[in-house]
Structure formats: C-alpha cells, structure tokens
Amino acid sequence: MSAKEVLRKIEEEMQKAVEATKREFAELRSGRANPKMVEGIRVNYYGTPTLLKELATIGIPEARLVVINPYDPTSLKEIEKAILQSALGITPISDGKIIRLIVPPLSEERRGELIKIVKKVAEEGKVSIRTVRRNGKECVRKMEKEKKISEDDRFKAEEELQKITEKYIEEIDNLLENKEKELKEV
C-alpha cells in the first residue's frame, strides 16, 4: 500500500465521520418540521421492529407539520404508539388514515439545551476525525520504518494528512454553525 492509498483511505474515513455528525444533527429537533425527526423511529410491525420510513410516506406540507401516511392502515396504532414512546416529545394526532405531528416552537431553555447537545455532537465528530488522523500518521510512520517510503515521503504524507484533517474539521464547524443558527431561529 502506498502513502497515497493510505491518505485516500483516511479521507474516506473522515468523510464518514462528517456524515455521521450530519445524521445526528438532522435527528435533533429544531423548531422546524423535518422528516429525519421520525424516519429512524422503530415501530413494532407484526412483531418485527421496523423503521417508520419503511412503513409510511413522511411529508412536510408546512414548516411546523409532519404528515405520516402508512402504507398499511392497520399499522396506524403501532406507529402512534412508537411515536409516543420515542424521545420526540410530540403527541401524534390521528384521523384514522394519517398521522399529523405539529412541531411546537422551542422554548428558550430547550434551545440552550439543544445548542449544548449540538456542540457535544460536533466535538465527538472532531474527535473521530483526529483519531483517524492519528491512525493515519501511525500507518505512514510504520511504512517509513519498514522502508516502504522515504523520510521525505513521510513528511509530505503527514503534511497532506494535516490539510485533509483541517478540511474536515472546518466542515464540521460549518455544520455546527448552521445548526446553531437553525436552533436560534424563532
């Protein structure tokens, strides 16, 4: 394996860390409706825990409204139950055919709590990226020890590794900034 292949592999792992952070941000409820709020809820569908997004279409007709339309009308009660048991904190409204979730505006106190959570999630993402960088650095140094690359190549690879790391940490900082803005909107 060459230094370039190691760097490519490291970059892929860093991209995965950023994607994981994005997913966690999407699951955090802001004052706006978002399909990702409910997609990951597991519903007991004939004894099998099934993701809500596999059982229904999820729409956002308005900024503060989520509409869930089950493919199988008999699953409506189980979907309602799963939403009530989730950490979402929203009571579903059902008319027997579809479920509506009205997303209430966030209180100032809840906004503060969510901003702390978002910062923690962002920091975890950065830690993942730094861990990947450390592993990459160890791999490159090992390659130099085994005489697979020269000392100059090791320095170049470590410089490139640092640039890649800074790029992905900046990406997480941007995601954090955007999520904070979204949470501060009233």
Domain boundary among 102, 126, 148: 102
Residue 163 has pLDDT above 90, yes or no: yes
Q: Are 91 and 40 found together in one domain?
A: yes
Q: Are 111 and 180 found together in one domain?
A: yes
Could you tell me the CATH number of the domain that includes residue 79? 3.30.1360.40
Q: Are 142 and 91 found together in one domain?
A: no
Q: Are 20 and 43 found together in one domain?
A: no
DSSP state of 166: H
Domain boundary among 84, 102, 120: 102
Confidence category of residue 2, pLDDT binned at 50, 70, 90: confident
Q: Are 117 and 178 found together in one domain?
A: yes
Higher pLDDT, 173 or 115: 173
pTM of the model: 0.70
Count of domains for the chain: 2
pLDDT digits (tens, 9 = 90+) for 68-96: 999 998 999 999 999 888 877 788 999 98
Alpha-carbon distance of 141 to 67, in angstroms, equals 54
Q: Are 97 and 136 found together in one domain?
A: no
pLDDT digits (tens, 9 = 90+) for 146-161: 999 898 999 999 999 9
Structural domain of residue 21, as residue ranges? 3-27+107-184
Could you tell me the CATH number of the domain that includes residue 160? 1.10.132.20
Q: Are 96 and 112 found together in one domain?
A: no
Alpha-carbon distance of 101 to 99, in angstroms, equals 7
Alpha-carbon distance of 185 to 83, in angstroms, equals 25
> What contacts 138, CB < 8 A, 6 or more positions away?
none
Alpha-carbon distance of 81 to 107, in angstroms, equals 25
DSSP state of 74: G
Q: Are 64 and 154 found together in one domain?
A: no
